[in-house]
Amino acid sequence: MTKKIFVFITGICLLISPSMTLASFDEGAKEVFEVMKHLDMQGHADDDFSTCSIQQLYYKEIEEMLNDGMTKDEIVQSYVDEYGQAALREPGKDGNGLIAWGMPVIAFLFGVIIVSFGMKKLTNKQSTIKTDSLNEHPSISETEAEILKETFDEERRKHF
C-alpha cells in the first residue's frame, strides 16, 4: 500500500513539474515590469528599454530573483538595502520620506482652515439676495431662467 502511495505521489510530482517550469518568470513577465516601475534604476527609469543597458540589466536581475522565489516587495526591499531610498522612484513611508508624503496633507488642511475662515468672513447671510422673478420660480433652474431672460431681452431688442 505504502509503495502504491509512493508511486502515486511520484506520478503526481512528475505531472506537476512541467507546469511548475512553465510558471517560472521569463521575458515579458508582467511581474518583472511591475517591480521595475518602483525602481529608479540609477536615473534610467524612463529610458527606452530597447536601448538602455541599465534597464535590461535590472530586468535580468529581477527576473532571476522572481525565479528564485522572492516576492515583489522583497525584491524592491533588496534594492533599497543596497542603494538606500535613492533606489526607489518615490520617497519611503518612514523617516525623511514621511515629510514628503505628509506635507501635501498638512498644506491642504492649512488651506481648508484659511478658506473656512475666509468664507466665514466674506459671507453675510443677512444681505439682500437679488433674484428676479424668473429665478424665484421653483420649477425652472437658474440656467433656464437666465436663458429665458436673455432670449426675452434679445427679442425685445429685435422688435423694439
Q: Which residues bind another protein (CB under 8 A)?
A: 27-28, 30, 33, 37-38, 40, 43, 45-52, 84-86, 88-92, 96-97, 100-101, 103-104, 107-108, 111-112, 115, 118-119, 122-125, 127, 129-131, 135, 138, 140-145, 147-148, 150-152, 154-155
Considering the complex, state which of residue 69 and residue 95 has its C-beta at the smaller distance from another protein.
95
Between residues 70 and 140, which has the closer beta carbon with respect to another protein?
Answer: 140
Closer by beta carbon to another protein, 96 or else 133: 96
By beta-carbon proximity to another protein, the closer residue of 9 and 99 is 99
Min dist CB 4 to another protein, Å, is 42
- What cell was used for 78? 533588496
106, 114 Cβ separation under 8 angstroms: no
Q: 2 or 127: whose CB is closer to another protein?
A: 127
CB of 144 to another protein, least distance (A): 4
**Cα four-point dihedral sign 21, 23, 28, 32:** negative
Instruction: Look at the block and give the residue holding cell 517560472.
Output: 24
Q: What are the two backbone dihedrals, phi and then psi, of residue 47, each rounded to the nearest 5 degrees?
A: -70, 165
Minimum separation from the CB atom of position 82 to another protein (A): 14
Instruction: Give the three-class secondary structure for 68.
Output: coil
As measured in angstroms, the least distance from the Cβ of 11 to another protein is 33
Cβ pair 150, 142 in contact under 8 A: no
- The answer to whether 34 and 42 are in contact (CB under 8 A) is no
- 136 exposure class (CB count in 10 Å sphere: 0-12, 13-18, 19+): exposed
